[in-house]
Amino acid sequence: MTANATRVLVLNSGSSSLKYQLLDMHDTQSSSGSAAGRLAVGLVERIGEENSRLVHTPLATGGERRETEGAIADHTAALKAVAAELATDGLGLDSPELAAIGHRVVHGGLKFTAPTVIDDAVLAEIERLVPVAPLHNPANITGIKTAQALRPDLPQVAVFDTAFHTTMPEYAARYAIDVETADAHRIRRYGFHGTSHAYVSRKTAELLGKDPAEVNVIVLHLGNGASASAVAGGRCVDTSMGLTPLEGLVMGTRSGDIDPAVTFHLKRVAGMSEDDVDVLLNKKSGLIGLCGDNDMREIRRRIDEGDERARLAFDIYIHRLKKYIGAYSAVLGRVDAVAFTAGVGENAAPVREAAIAGLEEMGMAVDASLNAVRSGEPRLISPEYARVAVAVVPTDEELEIAQQTYALVNA
């Protein structure tokens, strides 16, 4: 790596999508603000279909957002198209300034507790984890192989969604099922969104002007997927997602916690297949299953019009959230802060208000006027008197992946 190689390309490959950001790590360290160091951002969606779409924004040149439609057959073609867009802006992937490519990898199992430079053995291990992450790891592997083919000389780093949660104590990570069966099939609670939980818990400590080691935080990552975590002194001690991202909070399209017997019932009584149940719980449940909408903006609009189904969906969502805040308060013993993040957490003031309402005895409260402020910056929304700080802390998984990648290749 040359001394002036300060750029990191972050790739987040989904089954039919590829999200990317090119960051200059020198600039992310020397300036603040959400756009700091971001040279280009973009997304390829509907990969493999006739109407694939590439949206590219060259932030470095202040250029206009460019959109192209047309068939992009696979991830290799998608990354090539992205490389061509970047080259148009003078940010080509052949640049000596590119230090590394950082990949979001969803499942790292127990083995990967930190970002890892990818070699054949690492790739094989990510592949071995496909049975516990069938929806995510195959796409991540494709993304890695594609990037390796494009720049075989460059370090490729895997940053795992599960890594931050590997500090969970055994009693929080194990399901209470037969130990031999669990171990034979690697069934345990792994947790996801770890990059976000790590970033947000650290930023929350920063907002409080404290060392992360001194602070206990409940992080509520509320996006279309949603998870909570209990972070004690910078280490995750519990999180709401489990073997897969299905467990825990009510999400956009996932049920979250459910009696597992519901699945037997659906198979035995409703005649549904394994795949039907999988689709029901992952894609047709949560907010969309409850009221037909998974966008919190739309749900709030319907509630304002007096829609009862939307109201009930919202109430179920909040009730689950409150249960996790209570549970993690007990797990942590002392809570210094509750941090809301991701699409819903950062934007939906009524969700924050309702989730904290009635928790005054636990030292938690939300100030209505602070809660109404719209901002992209980390901020407190609790009144001065409250014992527990309630905060909105915008997440930045790409920056976290880039920082971890850059730190590793410079170590």
Which of the stretches 103-111, 151-159, 258-266, 340-348 binds ligand AMP when contact is defined by CB under 6 A? 340-348
Give the span between the Cα atoms of 38 and 35, in whole angstroms.
6
Nearest alpha-carbon partner for 137 in 164, 113, 108: 108
394 binds ligand AMP (CB under 6 A): no
- Give dist(CA 143, CA 136) in Å, integer: 11
Residue 175 near residue 189 (C-beta atoms within 8 A):
yes
Nearest by Cα to 136 from 79, 206, 190: 190
**Residues in 342-371 that interact with ligand AMP by CB under 6 A:** 342-344, 347-348
Q: Which stretch binds ligand AMP (CB under 6 A): 1-9, 149-157, 305-313, 336-344?
A: 336-344
Question: In 3D, which of 365, 346, 409, 339 has the Cα closest to residue 98?
Answer: 409
Under the criterion CB under 6 A, does residue 295 sit at the interface with ligand AMP? Answer: yes
| Catalytic residue list contains 211 | no
Residue 219 · residue 200 · CB < 8 Å: yes
43 binds ligand AMP (CB under 6 A): no
| Number of residues binding to ligand AMP, judged by CB under 6 A | 12
Site string for ligand AMP, 201-230 (x = CB under 6 A): ----------------------xx------
List the one residue from 162, 255, 294, 405 that touches ligand AMP (CB under 6 A). 294
Catalytic residue, chosen from 24, 161, 238, 396, is 161
Between residues 163 and 342, which has the closer beta carbon with respect to ligand AMP?
342
In degrees and rounded to multiples of 5, residue 131 shows phi and psi of -60, -30
Residue 245 has, within 13 A of its CA and on its CB side, a CA count of: 26
> 210: Cβ–Cβ under 8 A, 6 or more apart, which residues?
336
- Looking at the Cβ atoms of 112 and 324, the one nearer to ligand AMP is 324
- In the numeric block, the tokens 């909570």 are attached to 228
> Nearest approach, Cβ of 201 to ligand AMP (angstroms)?
17
Q: Compute the least distance from the CB of residue 192 to ligand AMP, in Å.
A: 12
Footprint of ligand AMP on this chain (CB under 6 A)?
223-224, 252, 294-297, 342-344, 347-348
What residues act catalytically? 161
